[in-house]
Structure 1
Amino acid sequence: MEAGLFTANNVWMMICTALVFFMHLGFSFLEIGLTRQKNTINILFKNVFIICIGLLLYYIGGFNLMYPGDFNGYLGFAGFGLDPGENGMTPEYASGGYTYWTDFLFQGMFAATAATIVSGAVAERVKIGGFMIFTIIYVGLVYPIVGSWQWGGGFLSTLGGEEGGFHDFAGSTLVHSVGGWAALIAVYLLGPRIGKFGEDGKPQAIPGHNIPLAAAGVLILWLGWFGFNGGSVLSADPAGTSLVLVTTSLAAAAGGVSAMLFSFILYKNLDLTMFLNGILGGLVGITAGADLMSPNESVIIGVLAGIFIVGAVALVDKIKLDDPVGAIAVHLICGIWGTLAVGIFGAKAGVDQLIYQLTGIGVIGAFCCITAFIILIVIKKTAGIRVSKEEEMEGLDLHEHGMDAYPDFRMNQH
């Protein structure tokens, strides 16, 4: 491979790494905007912690747990720390798509995303210490083990023999559902926020304090997805990257429009938050098969993801789970949908592929639910995961952090 192409590939992957990093600002804005002002510092603290600890954990052992080299397909470990070896900086590494260092950093950004999904679902009532312990174990161990089963050359990648098995291009299941399953377990164990469900059991709206920030967060996330999916081509291949960016954008747009229209039909109002979550649902839905779909198929996947979002948000409320930002609907439900869509649409569609996709969803779902439950129940019985009623009413910012995101606003209230 010529040096110029190797350099171009690596530069593209570094740009994508930066875009995925930028997604953490989008997640922060979205979570802040959809929750109350008294918990703003708490949410920002969690998101900054996730990035910092996620990268360090991935450096210490996560990268080598996820990409162990030759292993039994279920669990392997290539050792602590980072070592590029003889070929890590040459075109012999990763077929010239990027260097070893770029590989580590790009994948490290993905690792942190799974815990960020949980952060939004448990917002406004989780103990910061308990959440930090959970993040360390889940990002440090659970995420890379699951990732090794597919992206590390494990058993899911070879379900169909040499033809390849389970397909998850950029992580509808391996990132989004991994976070979504943990969010589901965490929300169940935590219980709803005070006032979320009335005495009659009917869900009560708890409005977010800054919808403009939430909208900015979603648009930043959409931009970041160009790196999330575009970088998953694993080179600057013109045909691959341009197709993936088109399918990603069309699914996002279709998801937003269908969620907006479907929620209008059901509730007779043009709900911006549903519109925004529809965009995210479309993005999560296309992530598993962005490299396989035509523009038409991308739009169909997005449209159905938007409809699923509206239904899933209502279902989560109906079963009395409290998810302030809709993380379960977006990342779990649409993650499952996007993974199944690979067996229904696109270049790999077929009964065998659908079986591989269902197998991957089932195995990863069971593993994530069991591990998340064990981690969280131990924390609940020891350090605790839920703040006191007084702390929740007054806000986590003052009680957990001793500061206020909007001190002038609070002073003007008195």
Structure 2
Amino acid sequence: MTGVIRLFEDLHAARAFLGRPRQLPSELPDPVRERIRSVFGAELSPLQVVERIITAVREEGDNALRRFTLAFDGIPVEDFRVPEDELVRAAATVPADVLTALRFARDRIERFHQRTLRRSWIEFDRDGAFGQLVRPVDRVGIYVPGGRAPLPSSLLMTAIPAQLAGVRELIVCTPPGRDGRIAPIVAAAAHLLGIRSVYRLGGAQAIAAMAFGTESIPKVDIVAGPGNLFVVLAKRLVYGEVGIDQLPGPTETLVIADDSAHPALCAADLLAQAEHDPLASAILITTDPRLARATIDEIERQLARLESADIARSALERNGAIVIVPDLEQAFELANLFAPEHLCLSIREPWRYLDRVRNAGGVFLGETSPEVIGDYTAGPSHVMPTGATARFASPVTVETFLKVTSVIAVSPEALERLGVPAMQLAQAEGLPAHAAAIEQRLERVPPQ
């Protein structure tokens, strides 16, 4: 450990650190553990807490929601739905420049995702007609974090792709504040997008309510949006009852830098990620030992004037790292091993190396493309795969909210040509009724 962040000069040690499993935390802060004991009367793990919440919501509906909202948020709630006039009044309290920024972000996100729209297709040939019906799901539930840092940007990044996909109904759940109201900036974002079904409800109980439905909360087809440990565990447990976008865990940034990079900017990018969460990961891989050490010094300087320094310092000490490598080929090998949510290329020729990227949620090319722009105004959704799931998962897109139905219409003329080899395969698999279903049709179709 070098100061606030560990420094690796040994590649084997760096590879072991970057390749270690990134699991959701099981240890909870003492105040959270005390609250759990007071609510459930027992010492429970996060998973056990979520299992109990889901069971209660499924069996008791709104009564369970009211009980957990009082227990965890400290307020009694009778009507979970936020009246539309309350959304309008709350939005009116948001500063004009922030509303302008929300509109700007909305327009950028819409323009980007409009380029990705997918259409149904059917192709007719001598064998018949074959294709795909591409349809949106009917209803999507979006979770928007509240509490210390409400995230209206996450609502934009999730709801806009769903709207462009053609989803007929969006509902939003977001935790109430101590005054019983949702964060005005989240209300403003919902109002801006024309979303009227907004509920003051947070935590695992909100996920369970959207997954199973209650007297007040409609059952959805897909639950989307980021959240804390309990929200992510709830999404994992309800998957199968509903679809989910992904399981976004603690956020991550990995910066690859050469000797052309500026240490102050490298430090700023690492701190921008680290201030999210004590469990966030902020990694720098560089070919320049001088840049590595200068970045460490810059981190200390910038931390001294950062309001969120305690959170950022905790994240850097826990999951931060600076790795010195002999060349960029090695840097990209380690980056693909880590499979970060965000990969920033602060190198002299970033476009030259883009094809080296195999595993990343998003790639940010050059020092004028900071990851923070991706959080708000670039256009692609900032809800991206974390925890090395970029090896097989993708960011939220329009396709997240679409489903595909295959279309198969075999012509009479093609029945024998397609049917005979299908019968042979069915018989080889020991499924005689499969083969018979084709054989009986062949007996009824005149030879072509």
TM-score (norm: length of structure 1): 0.25
Structure with the larger helix share: 1
Higher relative contact order (Cα pairs below 8 Å, separated by 6+ residues): 1
Structure with the larger strand share: 2
Q: Find the structure with the greater CA-based Rg.
A: 2
TM-score (norm: length of structure 2): 0.24
